[in-house]
Structure 1
Amino acid sequence: MNQEQLTSYPKEKINILFLENISDKAVQYFKSNGYTSVTKLNGALSEEELIKAVKDVHLLGIRSKTQITAKVLESAKKLQAIGCFCIGVNQVDLKTATHLGVTVFNAPYSNTRSVAELVIGLAIMLIRRIPDKNKAAHEGIWKKEAKGSYEMRGKTLGLVGYGNIGSQVSVIAESLGMKVMFYDTETKLPLGNAIAAKSLEELVASADIVSLHVPETAQTKNLIDKEVLTHFKKGGILINYARGEVVDLDALAECLKSGSLSGAAIDVFPWEPEKNGDKFTSPLQGLSNVILTPHIGGSTEEAQENIGEDVSAKLYQFLEKGITNGSHSVPAIGLPPVDGAHRILHIHNNVPGVLSAINTELAKHHINILGQYLKTNEEIGYVVLDVDKKLSAQAAELLRNIKETIKVRMLY
C-alpha cells in the first residue's frame, strides 16, 4: 500500500501542538510526513491556557511540567493522542484519558543513558568531596587534602529500583570496580554481579552510595523519610534523580548537617518552578557537599533527540495506522495495513457484548470484515477493523451508533 495514500483525511487539517520546547526532531518528523499544521511553544501552559489551546488540537506533545487534568481533556473534543516527551506519564490524568479514549504515549528508555552517566559522575564528585573543594577554590581558599575523599573502586552502590535506568547504572558501576546491591518491589534478574537486597533497610545500611530510581506513586512518597535515613551507613551518600516526592528533604538536610550523611545530589523536588529564572528554594541550599540541579537528569542533546524521535514515531503510527504499542491508556494493538481495505478504529466501554454487536450490525448490512482485532483493559476496549473499501463509510457510521461507543475514527 502506498504510504502517501494511507490516510483518508487531509493532513493539513490535523493540528499538532508541542509544548515545553520539545526537540525540533519532533516537528521535523511530522512535517516530513506531510503534516503542515505543527505549532511549537517553548514553555508550559496553565490549565486555563491549555483549555483554550487544545480546543482544535488532534495531537498534543508535552514534557513533565504540563499538567493534563480532567478539565483539559474534557475540553479537547478533537484530541486523539498525547505524547509525553519524557520517561513518565504522571502529569496526565490517565483515568480520564482512558475514559475518553485518548491514547497516551511516552519514552521510557530514550534518556536512560543520560541519567545513568550523570548519576555515576555525581557519585564520583561526592565521594571525592568536590563540591567542598570547588566552593573553597571559588572563594580563594586552597584546600588540597585527601581527608574524606575516596575512590569508587571497592565501594558499594545501592540502587533503589532496578528498572531501565537503575540496571544501566549497575553495569557502569561494576565496570568501575564497585559492588552493586539493589532493592526492588518486583523480582528482577540481576545484571553482572549485582545482588538483590531483602529490604530497603538492608540496602541503605550496606551501601556507601544510595541512588534512587523509582516512579512517583502513593507507595514511593517519602520513601526515604526520617526513619529510613537512620538506617543509612555512617557517612553515606544519597542521590535522587528519580522523583521529587520520594525524599523527605527536611529530614535529609538534618542528616547532612549532623554529619550522619556525607553528601547528596538532588535533581528533583516536591515543588519546582514553572519556568527558567523563577525563584527556587530548598532546605538543602547552602549545605556542604550537596549538588543541586534543576531537573536535568535526562537533559542532553542526545536524549532529547531520541525522545523526540521515539514519541513522534508512536504518535505517527497511531495517527496513520491505529497502532497503540506503548500506550498507557488505550490497549496495545499493532497491525500492518491490509491491501484492499479501509481501516476503522473503534474505542468503547469494556462491557460484554460490544464486539458481538459490531459484528451483528455489519453483517446485517452485508459489510465484509477483512481483518479484526480486539484488545481490552479494565475500562475500555479497542477494536481495529479492516473492511471492504466500498462500504467503509457506511461501516463507520454504523459503528458510531453502537451502544457503549466512545470514539470512532476511519484512518484510510
Structure 2
Amino acid sequence: MSAPQSMPNGRRNSVSASDPPQFIPIPVNPRGVPQSSYGPTSPTLSTSPRNTFSVSPGSHTRQRSLSSLATPGVARQLTAFLPADYPLAEEEDGPGDKRQGKQRILLLENINLDAAEYLKKAGFEVDHVTKAYSEEELVAKLPAYDAVGIRSKTKITAKVIDACPKLLVIGCFCIGTNQVDLLKAAQRGVAVFNSPFSNSRSVAELVIAEIISLSRQLLDRSSEMRAGIWNKLSKGCWEIRGKTLGIVGYGHIGSQLSVLAEAFGMSVIYYDVIPLMPLGSARQVDSLQELLNRADFVTLHVPEIPDTIGMMGAAEFAHMKKGSYFINNARGKVVDLDALASALESGHLAGAAVDVYPKEPGANGPGFNDNLGPFIPRLRQIPNLILTPHIGGSTEEAQRAIGSEVSTALSRYLDVGTTLGAVNFPEVDLRAITTQDERHIRVCHVHKNEPGVLKRVNNILADHNIEKQFSDSKGDIAYLMADISDVGEEEVENIYKQISAASSNILTRLLY
C-alpha cells in the first residue's frame, strides 16, 4: 500500500483502522538541530553516554582507540589532567607530556564476572577477588586503586577512606550501603553507587519459598528423610491460601512480594513509616504492633539505620500471634536473635527463616559458629527454622543485573563525571562533549556547600565560554559540572590550580 495522500488543504485523508497504512513519512530534523547532537549518526548521545571516557586528577588515563573520532557527532573521548603531586605508581609518559596512567578497579566478594569483563573492555585494569577484605587488608591494598566494588561483607570505614587518597568511587554491588561510611566518603569526594532494585525479585521469590516451606515444615521432613526417618504427618502443616502476610517495609521488595503473595491467595497488610499506595488489595496499617497482632507471617524488608536496629525484640515477638511465623531477609542487626530463639523455643512462634546476621563470615566455608554470636548454637537446634547464608539476592539473574547497573555507574562517573544514582552525592549530569567540541574541557568540582563557590569558579572560567553548567548540593557537599570551550591544552593546568586552591575545594577533575 502506498502512503496516504494529502488533501488540497494540506490535511491527510483519514485511514480506516481495518486498513492501516504501511508507511507514514516522518520528517527529518524538523527543528533544525545541528547534526552534532541529532540524528542516526550520533547514537551514543545520551546525557551520559558510555562511550565517552575520562580520568580525574585522582585517577589515571587509559589509552584507547580513537577510531570513533572519525564519525561526526559521537561523544568525544576524554582524558584528564593529573596534578604533579598525584601519586602514580610509575611514570608512563615522557618529559613534558601530561602525566598519564591506567585506572585500576578492585572487585571484592566474588562480584559477577560479567561486571569485571565489562569494566575490562571499557579499558580499566580490574583485579577480581572472591573474598571480602578486612579493614587491615583494605588499608594495605586499596591505596593502589582508583575504585573499589564490594558487596555486603566488606566494610569501608573512615580509616580506610583516609588511607586511600586516590580513591574516587565505591560501587556497592547490592542494595544496602550501610557497610560504607557515606558521610566520610562524601567529605573526601568519593562517590558511592549501589543497585537498589536489581535483586528485588530474587528476594521476593525467596520469601515466598520460605513461607511455603515453613507452613509445610519441608526442611524438617527433608532432614528426617536424609536420616532414614519416614515421618508423614499433617499436624501443624498449613496451606498459605487465606493466611495473612504482614510486610514491614513496603519498598521495592515488599511491594513485589505483596503481588506474589496475593497470587497465592494470601491477604496482605503492610507497615511503613510513610504512607504508600498499595498494589492489588494490600492494606497499610497504622502501627507495627497492629501488623504483628494480625499477621500469620511477618517478613522484614527495611534498611539498617538507627531507627531499625533492634526493632524486633522480645516485646515485638510477644505481640505476634501464637503459632505465627517470622522471616528476616533484610539486615542482621534489625532483629534480636536471642529473643527470636526464645520465642521459637517456647513454642510461641511456629517457625522462622533467617538469611542475615549481625556478624557474618568473610568467606565461604566452615566458621558459622558461636564466634558470630551466642545465639548460633541455640538456633541450630530449633526445629522448623530455615537458616541460609545471606542468599536473598544470590541468583544468576540478580547478580548479572546488579553487575551491569553498578559497573555502568562506576564507568560513567570515572569517564564523564555523572553522579546519577549516587547515594551520598548530589545527582548531576551533563550531555556529552562531541567530536566537534575539540577545544572543550569538563570541570567536575566537588566542594563544600557554602556561599560564593560558583562565583569564584565562574570568575576563573570567565575568559572562556561556559557552554553548559549544572550544580546541585546534598547536605554539606555540592557538585558542579561545567563544560567550557576555546581552551588550549596549555591552559588546563592553570585552571586546575586556581579551582583546586580554594578552601572550599574537596576534589577537582578536569576532563579534556
| TM class by smaller structure | over 0.9
Q: Any idea what the Cα deviations from partners look like across 1:148-176, whole Å, max 9, x if unmatched?
A: 11111111000000001011100100111
Of residues 403, 410, 417, the one that matches 1:315 is 410
CA distance in 2, matches of 1:274, 1:41: 12
Q: Which residue of 2 aligns with 1:72?
A: 160
Q: Give the residue type in structure 2 aligned to 1:159.
A: I
Q: Which residue of 2 aligns with 1:192?
A: 280
Offset of residue 12 of structure 1:
5.9
Of residues 436, 439, 455, the one that matches 1:356 is 455
Of residues 355, 358, 368, the one that matches 2:465 is 368
- 1:334 equivalent to 2:422? Answer no
Q: Any idea what the Cα deviations from partners look like across 1:223-266, whole Å, max 9, x if unmatched?
A: 11100111101100000000001111111111111111100000
Identity of aligned residues (%): 47
Offset of residue 316 of structure 1:
1.0
Offset of residue 352 of structure 1:
0.8
Q: Which residue of 1 aligns with 2:401?
A: 306
Q: For the structure 1 residues 198 and 26, does the alpha-carbon distance in structure 2 shift closer, same or farther, using more than 3 Å as the test?
A: same
Give the secondary-structure state (helix, strand or coil) at the position aligned to 2:192. strand
- 1:14 equivalent to 2:103? Answer yes
Offset of residue 212 of structure 1:
0.5
Of residues 413, 417, 420, the one that matches 1:325 is 420
- 1:60 equivalent to 2:132? Answer no
Moved more, 51-60 or 188-197: 51-60
Give the secondary-structure state (helix, strand or coil) at the position aligned to 2:319. coil
On the 8 A contact 1:157/1:208 being kept in 2, the answer is: yes
Give the secondary-structure state (helix, strand or coil) at the position aligned to 1:189. coil
Q: Any idea what the Cα deviations from partners look like across 1:256-296, whole Å, max 9, x if unmatched?
A: 11111100000111121222123213131121100000111
On the 8 A contact 1:362/1:398 being kept in 2, the answer is: no
On the 8 A contact 1:81/1:104 being kept in 2, the answer is: yes
Of residues 358, 361, 369, the one that matches 1:273 is 361
On the 8 A contact 1:322/1:345 being kept in 2, the answer is: yes
Unaligned runs of 5+ in 2: 1-35, 37-50, 53-65, 67-75, 81-98, 370-375
Offset of residue 389 of structure 1:
4.5
On the 8 A contact 2:169/2:410 being kept in 1, the answer is: yes
Q: Which residue of 2 aligns with 1:43?
A: 131
Q: Which residue of 2 aligns with 1:399?
A: 499
Q: Which residue of 1 aligns with 2:481?
A: 384
Offset of residue 347 of structure 1:
0.7
CA RMSD of aligned residues (A): 1.5
On the 8 A contact 1:367/1:395 being kept in 2, the answer is: no
Q: Which residue of 2 aligns with 1:220?
A: 308
Of residues 56, 74, 99, the one that matches 2:187 is 99
Offset of residue 11 of structure 1:
8.5
On the 8 A contact 1:174/1:180 being kept in 2, the answer is: yes
Q: Which residue of 2 aligns with 1:145?
A: 233
Q: Any idea what the Cα deviations from partners look like across 1:21-72, whole Å, max 9, x if unmatched?
A: 111111111122222x111111111112111212121111111111111111
Q: For the structure 1 residues 66 and 123, does the alpha-carbon distance in structure 2 shift closer, same or farther, using more than 3 Å as the test?
A: same
Give the secondary-structure state (helix, strand or coil) at the position aligned to 1:233. coil
CA distance in 2, matches of 1:263, 1:200: 20
Give the secondary-structure state (helix, strand or coil) at the position aligned to 1:55. helix
On the 8 A contact 1:354/1:403 being kept in 2, the answer is: no
On the 8 A contact 1:347/1:383 being kept in 2, the answer is: yes
Normalised TM-score (structure 2): 0.78
CA distance in 2, matches of 1:75, 1:265: 39
The alignment covers a number of residue pairs equal to 409
Moved more, 336-345 or 250-259: 336-345
- 1:411 equivalent to 2:511? Answer yes
On the 8 A contact 1:350/1:378 being kept in 2, the answer is: yes
Give the secondary-structure state (helix, strand or coil) at the position aligned to 2:203. helix
On the 8 A contact 2:465/2:486 being kept in 1, the answer is: no
On the 8 A contact 1:321/1:336 being kept in 2, the answer is: no
- 1:289 equivalent to 2:360? Answer no
Normalised TM-score (structure 1): 0.96
On the 8 A contact 1:369/1:388 being kept in 2, the answer is: yes
